[in-house]
Structure 1
Amino acid sequence: MLRTGQQYRDSIRDGRRVWMNGERVHDVTTHPQFKPLIDIRARIYDMAHEGATRDIMSYEENGDRFSVGLKLPYTEDDWHAKRRATDAVLEDVGGIVTRVGDETAGEMWSLYDGQDILNEVDPRFSDNICAHIHKVIQNDPFHVSANTDPKGDRSKRPQDQDPDMLLRVVKETDAGIVVRGAKYETAAAYANQAFTKPTIANWGDSALSEYAVGFICDFSSPNLRFICRTGFAGRAPAEDYPLSSRFDEIEALVIYDDVLIPWENVLFYQHTKAAGFIRNTLHRYSAFAFVQRNLKLADLMIGAALWNVRQTGLEKQQAVQEKLATLACYREGINAHLTAAIANAETSPGGLLMPNQSLLMTGRVHACSQLHHMMHLARELCGGQICVTPDAAAFADPDTADWLKKFYTLNDNWGSDDRRKLLAFARDLLNSDYAGHRLTFQLFAQAPPFAHLGAVYRNFDFDDALRFTKKSAGLSDNVLG
């Protein structure tokens, strides 16, 4: 079943307990700070039904249509289709959205690949994983992912401090497990469900742990609370902040106050080896969609910078061209990694086609580790006016409009209104609270930078470099790699 946007909105009017800015939010679909992103998520659902985008966003199987983003990948064409669908969404909405479901479905596919390890714990878990993957495909929910805890004192074991600092199982019942603790999660307040999984904790030598648990959490469940940060939308006029007024994806601290998770929703439990495997392979699919967002973010930075230097007549200067070329190298580096990861895709342990892991993970490091440098280059190219330009209201005020029209009109092609719009866009993209938040989010949304590098270390094939160096240096056969 392919949902419509209205069906999605109706599904999250379920009485969930949400707070923002010290107040209870009774309907997230109408709240001014949630509504813009909810409308975008609803728009994505509607795109799957519209003639112009139907075949990009969905596919037909046995007479029914399903979401391209949620489809299990078996061929290179499946990955090309996912890439086209993501690009279509970002082009349609005119900005970057990260947590909309297609990038989190891939984490479930990593579980699918780990069924042998999970079967060491309980064969039921493997069955639950397959059931949930197909349930997501069939029912088209807004599925997100939760994996970051408050953590507490990380020099101690969880058991040696307030034990709820990491989400844990406190009781088993015939109906399921009861969990207590908290998770930070982007989009939780307006999603349907989450794959909730453990942060790697200081378990010591424990083979079993009440913290090593992963499950599907229905966000309409009783005993859940969503405590959200204040959003950016509505804090300033949309004319001055065109991105933050629409594309702010709000995070929540989700409180699990003795929440019952039915056994059929438990995907792994207690086995620390299984939890470690899941953490290490979690992003083998989902990193693709995540890195693709950085590609589109690079496009926005290049566009904002290039339009600005064309406005001001600086495009022909060598120093300016060098900075633009550096931005282009960053952009094409991301593009190359994504393209090569599909072209050199690998068969996964579960029989799926996964992007080449070494290329994908090195691409993620390139995209994330260089982002702040690229943002600063784009700031330089846009110039100081992005932080000093008056607000849109001043351009409309009769007492100031003529002066601003005079000093912001560049030539016959670039009037003051277009100049102001570009500077406002660049300010929101590069200099605003929203810009800083997005930079931090891109650095940490798929684990911190050291974990990105850890994934590269685990997936890069060092053997050929060792072999070639051993041969070139004339090392003896006694040397072992």
Structure 2
Amino acid sequence: MNVSVAAQAKPHADAGSKPQTGAEFLGSIADDGREVWIDGERVKDVTTHPAFRNSTRMIARMYDSLHDDANAAVLRAPLHDGPGWTHPGFLAPRSLEESVQQTEAYAAWARIGYGWLGRSPDFIGAAFCPSFDVEADYFGEYSANAKAYAKHLREKVSYIGHAIVNPPIDRSTPETAKDIMIRVEKETDAGIYVSGAKVVATGMSMAQEVLIAHHFIPVTDKKYAPVFSIDINTPGVKMFCRRSYEGDAARTSTPFDAPISSRMDENDSILVLDNAFVPWERVLMYDPAKANTFMAVPGQAARGLLQAGVRLAVKLDFICGLFMKAVEVGGTKDFRGVQAGVGEAIGFRHMMWALMQAMTRDLQPWREDYLQPNAVHGHAYRVLAGEQYSKMRHNILKHVASGLIYLPSSAKDYLNPEVKPMLDRFARGSNGISSEERSKILKLLWDTIGSEFGSRHELYEMNYSGSQEQVRVDQYVRSFTNGTAEQMLGLVDTCMAEYDINGWTVPDLINPGA
């Protein structure tokens, strides 16, 4: 199934503004004063530190792809408000053709990271940048800030992360943890000073900026309600990182042994603000009632789900292809049970692409002449993806089995003239596949599915849209507001109206005994 539809956009001239390049991105985050902590030490430069350096370069690849003229038809879209161009995802579409181009652009960037970079720079750009502009009125007295920030994001294609969840100190009594909540310490004519923490700040060590918002504020005091963006290298912004899979690979492994985790590790961190200064022009909301509605900004959910779903669909392309290679190298590709397992994974892949194509083409009128994807299809993805991803991972472990373990310790074994002949004989693959090729395939599969990196990705996809229970409740509640409940109930009512205890109530059917 070819899910790609060629965009009709033409290459754009270099006149006017254009996004940053990969080199400009790396230069902007190199030794810029950001406060990143890992393994008890402060990181001086994330672009050279072994825990982050290759992951930052994978992000730089994305920016460089924008400037490759061969990609212009997919990855460049003219700005709506002046000369220049941007990543299509940072604009709201005004036609089916523009919507198709956006989906193609999300897929093109996702393929650079083989689907494993879940918080690439186009995520917040896709979800919020157009809403900040088109729905600026939603931000009330800060509407001008929202529009200005949207302009900044789309012209630079900034790498902006986000953090919205309070640290779960005690979820049974969240209001008692005021000491860790984001709060305003002081207001001045120039801005606000903010302290507190947010989790899980994915990829934040590599980002240029972060959007701080709230999913739910358990208190009504205004000081706990600022929504704002802040530069990562602002004094007082601190990140405390989890263990780095990239760093582990740099210390103990080789690219042959950890080809994905060694360069696609979006490190998750605890983001702490310690009396950090936020200029007023970076404030988007400052009211508890309003701040609790931030995630309901019109347009953001549908657009964010489209970008996220396309990224997952690309990831499934990669996993399914790798699964197929693994069962071939093990000589089990013709076993009926194995084919069923691989076929189920491919079915999941097709389902995701179908939902994303539905979102791309089932467009709803927005404000002015803009359009947005129908979120119904995206919310179906929220319900189905987490559970299906876990099931797929289990199927891979079940069908590839000990093949994921029966491997040499590292690439160095093949460089040892005493060991290599033994591996060539006793660890070769089926159908003439060499030991080295077998190991390359199965180590890639272990890195993505079986390792701690792979386990983290299962957890990530499982909880991507929130708790599994909540996404299902959301689907139920939304069915009454989007018309689907009425449609489904109406179909049942039509059926039930055709009969009663006396028989058929419609003239074209014949009752028993007649």
Would you say same fold, with TM above 0.5?
Answer: yes
Which of 438, 442, 448 matches 1:429?
A: 448
Residue aligned with 1:52, SS: helix
Q: Is the 8 A contact 1:302 1:378 kept in 2?
A: no
RMSD of Structure 2 on Structure 1 (CA): 2.3
Q: Is the 8 A contact 1:387 1:431 kept in 2?
A: no
Report the equivalent of 1:446. 465
Report the equivalent of 2:102. 82
Report the equivalent of 1:298. 316
Aligned letter for 1:223? G
The answer on 1:197 being equivalent to 2:213 is yes
Q: Is the 8 A contact 1:151 1:166 kept in 2?
A: no
Residue aligned with 1:177, SS: strand
The answer on 1:335 being equivalent to 2:358 is no
Residue aligned with 1:258, SS: strand
Which of 64, 67, 70 matches 2:90?
A: 70
* Deviation, structure 1 residue 341: 1.5
Which of 380, 394, 403 matches 1:376?
A: 394
Q: Tell me how far apart the structure 2 counterparts of residues 155 and 300 of structure 1 sit (CA, whole Å).
A: 40
From the superposition, tell whether residues 350 and 375 of structure 1 become closer, same or farther in structure 2 (CA, over 3 Å): farther
Cα offsets for 1:54-78 (capped at 9, x unmatched): 3322223454222223223333323
The answer on 1:221 being equivalent to 2:234 is yes
Runs of 4+ with >6 A deviation: none
* Deviation, structure 1 residue 351: 5.8
Q: Tell me how far apart the structure 2 counterparts of residues 43 and 355 of structure 1 sit (CA, whole Å).
A: 28
Q: Is the 8 A contact 1:37 1:247 kept in 2?
A: yes
Report the equivalent of 2:15. none
* Deviation, structure 1 residue 157: 4.8
Q: Tell me how far apart the structure 1 counterparts of residues 478 and 368 of structure 2 sit (CA, whole Å).
A: 17
* Deviation, structure 1 residue 388: 3.2
How many residue pairs were aligned? 466
Structure 1: gaps (5+ residues): 476-481
Residues 385-394 or 418-427, more deviating: 385-394
Residue aligned with 1:53, SS: helix
Cα offsets for 1:24-64 (capped at 9, x unmatched): 11111111111111101111111111222233222234542
* Deviation, structure 1 residue 262: 1.4
Q: Is the 8 A contact 2:61 2:112 kept in 1?
A: no
Report the equivalent of 2:501. none
Q: Is the 8 A contact 1:103 1:287 kept in 2?
A: no
The answer on 1:387 being equivalent to 2:402 is no
Cα offsets for 1:347-392 (capped at 9, x unmatched): 2357642211111110232222211101111222323120231222
Report the equivalent of 1:243. 260
The answer on 1:172 being equivalent to 2:195 is no
Alignment of 1:380-419 (within 5 A): 380-391=398-409, 392-410=411-429, 413-419=432-438
Report the equivalent of 2:55. 37
Q: Is the 8 A contact 2:59 2:120 kept in 1?
A: yes
Cα offsets for 1:413-433 (capped at 9, x unmatched): 411111110110111111001
Report the equivalent of 1:466. 489
Q: Tell me how far apart the structure 1 counterparts of residues 465 and 125 of structure 2 sit (CA, whole Å).
A: 14
Cα offsets for 1:97-145 (capped at 9, x unmatched): 11121111233244556555543xxxx2122111111111122221121
Q: Tell me how far apart the structure 2 counterparts of residues 126 and 388 of structure 1 sit (CA, whole Å).
A: 59
TM, length-normalised to structure 1: 0.90
Aligned letter for 2:497? G
From the superposition, tell whether residues 173 and 94 of structure 1 become closer, same or farther in structure 2 (CA, over 3 Å): same
Residue aligned with 2:77, SS: strand
The answer on 1:148 being equivalent to 2:165 is yes
Structure 2: gaps (5+ residues): 1-17, 499-514
Report the equivalent of 2:4. none
Q: Tell me how far apart the structure 1 counterparts of residues 85 and 458 of structure 2 sit (CA, whole Å).
A: 36
Residue aligned with 2:70, SS: coil
Identity %: 25
Q: Tell me how far apart the structure 2 counterparts of residues 408 and 396 of structure 1 sit (CA, whole Å).
A: 15
Q: Is the 8 A contact 2:161 2:211 kept in 1?
A: yes
* Deviation, structure 1 residue 82: 2.2
Aligned letter for 1:181? G
Residue aligned with 2:445, SS: helix
TM, length-normalised to structure 2: 0.85
The answer on 1:17 being equivalent to 2:32 is no
Residue aligned with 2:69, SS: coil
Residues 231-240 or 323-332, more deviating: 231-240
The answer on 1:232 being equivalent to 2:245 is yes
Q: Tell me how far apart the structure 2 counterparts of residues 306 and 154 of structure 1 sit (CA, whole Å).
A: 42
Residue aligned with 1:247, SS: coil
Q: Tell me how far apart the structure 2 counterparts of residues 457 and 269 of structure 1 sit (CA, whole Å).
A: 31
* Deviation, structure 1 residue 189: 1.6
Report the equivalent of 1:479. none
From the superposition, tell whether residues 157 and 298 of structure 1 become closer, same or farther in structure 2 (CA, over 3 Å): closer
Q: Is the 8 A contact 2:215 2:292 kept in 1?
A: no
Q: Tell me how far apart the structure 2 counterparts of residues 91 and 162 of structure 1 sit (CA, whole Å).
A: 41
